Amino acid sequence: METHYPTQEQQFRTWMETHADHLFQFARARVRDEDLAKDLVQETFLAAWKGMADYRGEASVKNWLFVLLKNKITDHYRKAHSRYVAGSVDRAVEDRHFFDEEDHWRERCYPQSWTVDFSSPVEAKEFQQVFRSCSEKMKEAQHSVFVMKYVDGLDSGEICRALGISPANYWVLIHRAKVQLRACLEKNWL
């Protein structure tokens, strides 16, 4: 009995059918534009196709594709930052009254209590819609730093290296993002 192995094209098609939706969801959670998320997934698959011969199976296909996608997202953020000139560091001093040295809200500046019952699917969905709407109002540079910090869990040093920004620039971006997000949520959710 002859064994038939899938062709490279068949194998690649299987990868796309199996992983495209998950990759899109991952990208969509990190970029604000649905079309951009689709483009990033397409770029990921293009890179996978070009690198398919070099894929050694040391990581699962899924993990390999997610690493490629993360790199595409980081490249997008880096390009966005190269077009963005953050406000001066002196302006960051104005934001210091909101946060302490450990990057936590100062007691007198705590956000209002946000009562979200995440066990209620309706309420959780409504909050997610308001949160997404508020995050879409951030500048691209602020949004990318915020996502890298609070969604991807990267530390400030990793973010600075990935985006090619200074720690002072990072500080300005993350704090302005938090202040803007807080104000929008308090206005639109509470």
Q: Where are the domains of the chain?
A: 8-82, 89-188
Give, as one character, the DSSP assignment of residue 99: B
The CATH architecture of the domain made up of 89-188 is: Orthogonal Bundle (1.10)
Alpha-carbon gap, residue 174 to 148, rounded angstroms: 10
pLDDT in tens, the chain (190 residues): 566 667 888 888 999 999 999 999 999 888 888 999 999 999 999 999 999 888 887 889 999 999 999 989 988 888 877 655 444 344 444 455 666 666 666 776 665 666 667 677 887 788 888 888 888 888 888 888 998 898 888 899 999 988 888 898 888 888 888 888 888 888 877 6
Q: Count CB neighbours of 20 within 10 A.
A: 16
Question: What is the token pair recorded at 11?
Answer: 């194998």
CATH hierarchy code of domain 8-82:
1.10.1740.10
Q: The pTM is what?
A: 0.62
